[in-house]
Every structure is written in structure tokens, then in C-alpha cells.
């Protein structure tokens, strides 16, 4: 992936993180998905007094993407946590990314800020995905 694209996604995820609704955990997360045709959708975590009704940032972004008619992801950036312990996507979100990933080679970018980010492939962080 081009560095310019990586930085664009990290920035979009950081901006989305500012919208996080996280009064219970106070853990703010943002995500930005890049579709195969170059469109970016962002999302934040949205918590609920009934904790299980919480939606992660990654799924907010992906559900926005799908509801706008796009179904192929070529990269996703997640912004959250600290440089030492960035916000890796949870297991449920990995499964949801996998549903819409163009391939196992797509980039999953984990960032705590614009200077501190790491790239992984989806296969690296989510091997042997469940598929029907």
C-alpha cells in the first residue's frame, strides 16, 4: 500500500475517533475502511447502558459502507489505545472484516496516532476465518 493512502486512512480513523460515544469505558476508537473503488467510510464505537448493545468502531464503519451499497474492503485503519497497546480489532470485528475483505492480503492498519501505526495483513491477524 502507498504510504499516502495509509496516512489518509489513519487520519480519517483518528478523526472518527473524536466522535466516539464511550461514556462507560471511556475507551475511544475510530475506524476507516477503504473500498476497492477508493471510497472511504468511517465509524466510531457507540456504547450503550446495556453494555452488550455496544457497537465497535470497525463494525460501525463497515455497516455504513454496506448500507451505502459497497461490499468490498481493500484496507481498514483502526485508531485507538496507546503506542504501546494500540486497539487491535476484536474477534467479532475480525470476522466482519473477513466477510467483506477483497482477499486475505488486505491491510489492517492499527494506529494510536498519526506517527505510531503498524500494518498487518488480515491473514496475519485472522487466519482460518470461518466461511460458509
Where does this chain bind ligand THU (CB under 6 A)? Answer: 22, 25, 27, 29, 45, 47, 54, 56-58, 87, 89-90, 93
Q: Give buried/exposed letters for 49-63 (b at 16+ CB in 10 A, else e).
A: eeeeebbbbbbbbbe
Answer yes or no: 58 catalytic: yes
Burial class (CB in 10 A: 0-12, 13-18, 19+), 131: exposed
Burial class (CB in 10 A: 0-12, 13-18, 19+), 124: exposed
Closest distance to ligand THU from the beta carbon of 36 (Å): 22
Closest distance to ligand THU from the beta carbon of 74 (Å): 19
Q: Which residues, listed in sequence order, are joined to residue 81 by a DSSP beta bridge?
A: 86
Catalytic one among 2, 4, 47, 58?
58
Nearer to ligand THU (CB atom), residue 54 or residue 121: 54
Closest distance to ligand THU from the beta carbon of 47 (Å): 5
Active site residues per annotation: 58
Amino acid at each position: 500500500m502507498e504510504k499516502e493512502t495509509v496516512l489518509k486512512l489513519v487520519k480519517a480513523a483518528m478523526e472518527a475517533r473524536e466522535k466516539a460515544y464511550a461514556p462507560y469505558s471511556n475507551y475511544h476508537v475510530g475506524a476507516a475502511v477503504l473500498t476497492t473503488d477508493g471510497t472511504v467510510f468511517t465509524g466510531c464505537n457507540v456504547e450503550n447502558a446495556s453494555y452488550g448493545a455496544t457497537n465497535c468502531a470497525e463494525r460501525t464503519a463497515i455497516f455504513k459502507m454496506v448500507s451505502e451499497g459497497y461490499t468490498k474492503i481493500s484496507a481498514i485503519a483502526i485508531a485507538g489505545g496507546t503506542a504501546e497497546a494500540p486497539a487491535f480489532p476484536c474477534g467479532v470485528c475480525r470476522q466482519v472484516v473477513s466477510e467483506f475483505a477483497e482477499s486475505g492480503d488486505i491491510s489492517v492498519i492499527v494506529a494510536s496516532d498519526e506517527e505510531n501505526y503498524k500494518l498487518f495483513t488480515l491473514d496475519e491477524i485472522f487466519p482460518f476465518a470461518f466461511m460458509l
